[in-house]
């Protein structure tokens, strides 16, 4: 069995471009983001990959990325499951703010703590630890069983919701995960062993 799991962070969004905290807000992709998503699909096609099911979040930028990838693969009609369990981390009161403006208001150190610590949430929002607590049960209950049955699964989601999965798959710790970045539109191709651990990982950079 293949046991293939592909994780893709959505392409550049309008608010990524404007340097805004996005979270559960719902901007769409920029033209660059559209190109990144289509290119991700082409790189997956070049590997000869097709999928049995797709997962994405309840947010437009991830859904749009997923559609563009599947279009490249000739799988536009693939069964796609959307769930807010895969949404980006909720940035609470920071959502919609320019990151530089936030630093001016609260200070560099405080904003860095909210963005990069594992367990300190921004006001009214989620820490990365909170995001892991939301994403991981969904992965274990819904996604992983399909992969272990031999289905090829693609997940198009967000930087932090996917970092929650990479943390588990790559064996990262609360100390090492905050510094790990996921590029927009770059697929991570995992092959899993029967015990759900990672047999191999490939990063499909442009």
> How far is the first Cα of the chain from the last one, in angstroms, to the nearest whole number?
28
Rounded to whole angstroms, how far apart are CA atoms 73 and 101?
A: 41
Q: What's residue 45's pLDDT?
A: 98
Cβ atoms of residues 42 and 73 within 8 Å: no
Rounded to whole angstroms, how far apart are CA atoms 109 and 103?
A: 8
Distances 66 to 79, 115, 142, 155, 163 between C-alpha atoms, Å: 11, 26, 18, 8, 18
Domain residues for the domain of 29 are: 4-203
The CATH code of the domain that includes 196 is 3.40.50.1240
DSSP state of 146: H
101 in helix, strand or coil? helix
Cβ atoms of residues 158 and 59 within 8 Å: yes
189 in helix, strand or coil? strand
**pTM of structure:** 0.96
Q: Number of folded domains in the chain?
A: 1
| Angle made by CA atoms 43, 154, 1, in degrees to the nearest 5 | 95
Q: Which of 64, 88, 126, 158 is catalytic?
A: 88
Q: What's residue 178's pLDDT?
A: 81
Q: Which of 10, 36, 64, 158 is catalytic?
A: 10
Tokens, residue 131: 């995001």
Cβ atoms of residues 87 and 161 within 8 Å: yes
Tokens, residue 140: 């274990």
Q: What's residue 140's pLDDT?
A: 97
DSSP state of 13: B
Rounded to whole angstroms, how far apart are CA atoms 81 and 90?
A: 21
**Cα-Cα-Cα-Cα dihedral of 205, 29, 79, 87, to 10°?**
90
Q: How buried is residue 156: exposed, middle or buried, by Cβ count under 10 Å (0-12/13-18/19+)?
A: buried
Residues of the chain with pLDDT under 70: none
Active site annotation includes 126: no
Per-residue model confidence as pLDDT tens digits over 13-63: 999 999 999 999 999 999 999 999 999 999 999 999 999 999 999 999 999
Q: What's residue 1's pLDDT?
A: 77
Active site annotation includes 88: yes
């Amino acid at each position: 069995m293949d046991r293939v799991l592909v994780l893709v962070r959505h392409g550049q969004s309008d608010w990524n471009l404007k340097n805004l905290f996005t979270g559960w807000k719902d901007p769409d992709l920029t033209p660059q983001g559209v190109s990144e998503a289509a290119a991700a699909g082409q790189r997956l096609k070049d590997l000869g990959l097709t999928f049995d099911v797709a997962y994405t979040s309840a947010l437009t930028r991830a859904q749009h990325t997923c559609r563009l990838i599947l279009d490249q693969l000739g799988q536009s009609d693939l069964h796609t499951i959307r769930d807010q369990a895969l949404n980006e981390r909720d940035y609470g009161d920071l959502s919609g703010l320019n990151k530089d403006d936030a630093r001016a208001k609260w200070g560099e150190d405080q904003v860095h703590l909210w963005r990069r610590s594992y367990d300190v949430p921004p006001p009214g929002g989620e820490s990365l630890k909170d995001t892991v607590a939301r994403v991981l049960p969904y992965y274990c209950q819904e996604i992983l069983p399909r992969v272990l049955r031999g289905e090829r699964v693609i997940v198009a989601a967000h930087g932090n919701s996917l970092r929650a999965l990479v943390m588990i798959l790559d064996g990262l710790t609360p100390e090492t995960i905050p510094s790990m970045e996921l590029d927009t539109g770059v697929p991570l191709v995992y092959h899993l062993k029967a015990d759900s651990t990672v047999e191999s990982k490939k990063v499909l950079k442009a």
